[in-house]
Structures are given as structure tokens and as C-alpha cells.
């Protein structure tokens, strides 16, 4: 029984890793597309200006500006790994109509590995997105705050949710069955391994997650 459970956990983590990789590839592909088109846009604008078509040039610039503002580009937190992880999840959230706000400022080098960051933040954000989708909130939201407190990495997230959840041990019950809690347990084990803590709170209409962990020597 324990062997089957272990195998199922490995399968779940492998599936999550593939999903995350696909999300990152999607953002990278979109950004490469804009870079590829940049030269063509400049040539078009140059042609309008040389032809004295200033109004058409301005309209073209406005259309480009609108497209850029509505494109999910990489977040800039100061840490490249966190940028990629958060950007992929934010793109996923926005595709589901969820409003995401982020305030983050981090150094580039942290003691926690990229894989560990992906597991911890990826699982927390996946749960937040799921909660937003299941909530009855007309304007679902996710608010993320991520900073250093001395040598400690502090993460706080508030998201839309449904009714207040009941705790099952240290975690909260979920509408999803099976191995839904394994992702959060894995996140907890990583944070605790580094000497930090992680906790959650559920209220009617909102759910919060936060952790504090040593991240710099």
C-alpha cells in the first residue's frame, strides 16, 4: 500500500512538472514572437513616417501598445527563477479571468533550489487558482507579496475562495479527492527542511497562505 502511494506521489509530481514546463514554454514562445516581429513593426512605422502618414503611424503605435499591455510578459522580481515560476502561474490565472497583483523584490541568489521554489510556489498558486475558479466571486483575485526580511524569504498570498473550509489535521479539506493534499505536504516538507514555517487560514470568501524561510547565508 505504501509503495502504491509513493508511486502515485511520483506520478503526481511528474505531471505537475510537465504542466509547469508547458506554461513556461508558452510564455517563452509568445515573447519570442514579439521579438521576431519587432523589426517588421519598425519598418512599417518608418514607411508611414517617410510617406507623411503620421496619423496612420500613431494608430499603428496605439495598436502595438494595446497588444503589449495585454500580453503576459515576464514578471521582474529581481530573481529570475521566481520570475519564471510566477509568470507562468499568473498567465494561467489571467486566462481564467482572475485578477492578479504582485508586489515582490528579491535577490537573485537564494539557498532554496529552483526545483524547490517551483514545488512550493507552484502548488500554492495552483490551489489559489482552483479556489478562485470554484468561488462565486464575480471578480476573483490573487494578491501576492514576496520580499526578504533580513535573511528570510517571506511569501504571503490572499485569494478568492468559497465558504470557510474545515481543517483536516494541519491542512484544509478540499472538494477534490485523491491525492490533492500531497502537493501541499510536499511544500510544507521543503519549507520545514530549510528551518522555516508555512501556514494557511480560511475564511468565508477568502483563503490566505504564507511562509517564512531562511534563504540567504
Span 113-118, average pLDDT: 84
Please indicate, yes or no, whether residues 67 and 78 belong to a single structural domain of this protein: no
Do 81 and 44 fall within a single domain? no
In this structure, the answer to whether residues 78 and 142 fall within a common structural domain is yes
59/98 same-domain check: no
Which three cell numbers, joined as nine digits, stand for 54? 503620421
How large is the greatest C-alpha to C-alpha distance in the chain, in angstroms? 76
Structure-derived torsion over alpha carbons of residues 215, 206, 128, 104, reported in degrees to the nearest 10: -40
Residues 133 and 46 in one domain: no
Is residue 34 domain-shared with residue 56, that is, in the same domain?
yes
Query: Which range has highest mean pLDDT (60-64, 85-89, 128-132)?
Result: 128-132
Are 4 and 46 contained in the same domain? yes
**Domain that residue 21 falls in:** 1-71
Evaluate whether 70 touches 111 at the Cβ level (below 8 Å).
no
pLDDT digits (tens, 9 = 90+) for 66-83: 655 555 456 788 888 888
Question: What pLDDT score does 203 carry?
Answer: 87
* Same domain for 49 and 13: yes
Report the CATH number at residue 201: 3.30.565.10
| Residue 27: CB atoms within 10 Å | 19
Domain boundary among 71, 99, 124: 71
Would you tell me how many other CB atoms lie within 10 Å of the CB of residue 130? 17
Whether 21 has a pLDDT exceeding 70, the answer reads no
Residues 206 and 129 in one domain: yes
Domain boundary among 35, 51, 71: 71
Dig out the grid coordinates for 99 from the structure.
485578477
- Listed residues 18, 49, 71: the one ending a domain: 71
Instruction: Name the domain count of the chain.
Output: 2
Positive or negative: CA dihedral 123, 126, 130, 131? positive
- Residue 3's pLDDT band, with cuts at 50, 70 and 90, is low
- Higher per-residue pLDDT: 166 or 118: 118
Q: Are both 142 and 94 inside the same structural domain? A: yes
Looking at the fold, whether 154 and 187 belong to one and the same domain comes out as yes
If asked whether residues 105 and 142 sit together in one domain, one would say yes
Amino acid at each position: 500500500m505504501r509503495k502504491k502511494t509513493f508511486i502515485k506521489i511520483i506520478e503526481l509530481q511528474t505531471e505537475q512538472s510537465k504542466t509547469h514546463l508547458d506554461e513556461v514554454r508558452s510564455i517563452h514562445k509568445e515573447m519570442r514572437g514579439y521579438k521576431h516581429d519587432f523589426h517588421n513593426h519598425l519598418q512599417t512605422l518608418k514607411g508611414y513616417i517617410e510617406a507623411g502618414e503620421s496619423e496612420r503611424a500613431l494608430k499603428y503605435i496605439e495598436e502595438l501598445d494595446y497588444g503589449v499591455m495585454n500580453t503576459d510578459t515576464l514578471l521582474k522580481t529581481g530573481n529570475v527563477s521566481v520570475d519564471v515560476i510566477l509568470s507562468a502561474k499568473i498567465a494561467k490565472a489571467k486566462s481564467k479571468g482572475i485578477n492578479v497583483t504582485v508586489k515582490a523584490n528579491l535577490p537573485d541568489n537564494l539557498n532554496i533550489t529552483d526545483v524547490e521554489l517551483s514545488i512550493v510556489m507552484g502548488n500554492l498558486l495552483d490551489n489559489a487558482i482552483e479556489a478562485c475558479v470554484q468561488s462565486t466571486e464575480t471578480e476573483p483575485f490573487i494578491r501576492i507579496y514576496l520580499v526578504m526580511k533580513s535573511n528570510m524569504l517571506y511569501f504571503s498570498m490572499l485569494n478568492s475562495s468559497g465558504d470557510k473550509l474545515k481543517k483536516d489535521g494541519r491542512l484544509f479539506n478540499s472538494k477534490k479527492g485523491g491525492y490533492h493534499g500531497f502537493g501541499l505536504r510536499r511544500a510544507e516538507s521543503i519549507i520545514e527542511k530549510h528551518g522555516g514555517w508555512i501556514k494557511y487560514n480560511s475564511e468565508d470568501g477568502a483563503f490566505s497562505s504564507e511562509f517564512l524561510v531562511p534563504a540567504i547565508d
